[in-house]
Structure 1
Amino acid sequence: MQCAAFSGQRLIAEGRPQDVLDAVKAATDAGEGVLVFDLASGHAVEFDLRGDLETALARLPVAAPEPKKGPGRPRLGVTAREVTLLPRHWDWLAGQPGGASAALRKMVEAAMREAEGPDRARRAQEAAYRFMTALAGDLANYEEAVRMLFAGDRTGFAAATVDWPQGLRDTARGMAEPSWAVRPPEAV
């Protein structure tokens, strides 16, 4: 996870949680209010800052261990779930090479590949919006920046954020960057 820590609208640290914790702890110990954001999702991140820095670092979450696999294809991580289809769908799936499960996996993989760009753009927009709402909601041109973000107008977004504090502006622009690569399809 990559995160950014802000004291007010001032960027105080950016990087992995263990890289920003020192600055976050120092700022909070000095009485400053600090907000930390996950740059991928735009969600606020909380650290347990009790004790000294080493104690706080030791409490950072570590990667969760792999859950024990059950029956099925454990090497692939296959999970059995129920799917409800009409009889004609089951008939068609049964006639596919590899059977129903293989055909469904192929269709899901194809749909995931097709939607990858628009999904990534949508997630980037939502993350940037969450971040901007938390820190930039009272800044000049906030509403315009949000409109430009969701309109897919990179130039308009840059113009709307030009007068924002540098760290906040650069973070918002960085979070929005993946949304410019592929514009999500328009709602019908």
Structure 2
Amino acid sequence: MNPAFVAFESERRIAAGDLGEVVRAAKQLLERRKDAAILVFDGRTSALVDVDYRGSVDDVLKRLPKPKPPAAEEPEQVEPAAPRGPGRPRLGVVAREITLLPRHWDWLAQQKGGASVAIRKLIDEARRAGGDKDRTRLAQDAAYRFMTTMAGNRPHYEDAIRALFAHDRRRFSTLIADWPADIRDHAIALAYSDQAD
């Protein structure tokens, strides 16, 4: 399982863990070496985290964004102070508009519990059925983002991306074998985080 956040300084992974400890390690390195170029990545998506390193370690930590729960645990967003309308805001149920053809509305009207219950059941079923494919796609996307940022100018980068999306693990690993160890190992961990070894 990948850490929540990872920091790299050039080719070297300098910290991994929760955002606070990763940023603390990055700030301490910056205090020793002002010219260090540090990138902090979200460990699941490889999105870059923007960190303002000005001030003391405590100042930097106070400005960090609050962590969001993983998508599977994230409740639907309830718009604060919105006028009351359809839905059950206290339960996290919010009415939103969807567009369907008449035959879809007819089918939904015939379902037990009505349209809302039928749509929720269809979504839950689709999430369960597509879970493995979704995890694989998210892992590939995270590896692609990380590799583009950290290894876009490395030898065999484009071929490695092709192997990644072709699900050719052996070729992927071979193509990036000569990359710096921390970059190579993190790319592999991201690319195959959906698979048990």
Aligned to 1:185: none
The 5 Å alignment of 1:116-131 reads: 116-131=131-146
Aligned to 1:184: none
Q: State the distance in 1 between where 2:54 and 2:169 align.
A: 41
Identity of aligned residues (%): 47
Instruction: Give the letter for the 1:49 counterpart.
Output: Y
Aligned to 1:35: 39
Contact residue 152 and residue 180 of structure 1 kept, 8 A? no
Is there any run of 5+ residues in structure 1 with no aligned partner, and where?
A: 182-188
Q: State the distance in 2 between where 1:2 and 1:63 align.
A: 10
Q: State the distance in 2 between where 1:178 and 1:32 align.
A: 29
Equivalent in 10, 13, 25 of residue 12 of structure 2: 10
Contact residue 5 and residue 11 of structure 1 kept, 8 A? yes
Is there any run of 5+ residues in structure 2 with no aligned partner, and where?
A: 69-76
Equivalent in 61, 64, 67 of residue 65 of structure 2: 61
Equivalent in 18, 24, 27 of residue 26 of structure 2: 24
Q: State the distance in 2 between where 1:90 and 1:146 align.
A: 42
Contact residue 154 and residue 180 of structure 1 kept, 8 A? no
Aligned to 2:160: 145
Contact residue 93 and residue 103 of structure 1 kept, 8 A? yes
1:26-53 CA distance string (max 9 Å, x none): 2333121111111211111111211111
TM-score scaled to structure 2, two decimals?
Answer: 0.82
Shift of 1:172: 0.7
Query: What is the alpha-carbon root mean square deviation over aligned residues?
Result: 2.1
Contact residue 47 and residue 60 of structure 1 kept, 8 A? yes
Q: State the distance in 1 between where 2:129 and 2:172 align.
A: 27
Equivalent in 151, 159, 166 of residue 136 of structure 1: 151
Aligned to 2:54: 50
Aligned to 2:71: none
Aligned to 2:183: 168
Equivalent in 72, 97, 105 of residue 82 of structure 1: 97
Contact residue 144 and residue 160 of structure 1 kept, 8 A? yes
Shift of 1:151: 0.8
Contact residue 10 and residue 167 of structure 1 kept, 8 A? yes
Residue 6 of structure 1: SS of its match in structure 2?
Answer: strand
1:74-129 CA distance string (max 9 Å, x none): 35411111222233322221121111111111111111211221111111111111
Instruction: Give the letter for the 2:124 counterpart.
Output: E
Q: Do residues 113 (structure 1) and 113 (structure 2) align? A: no
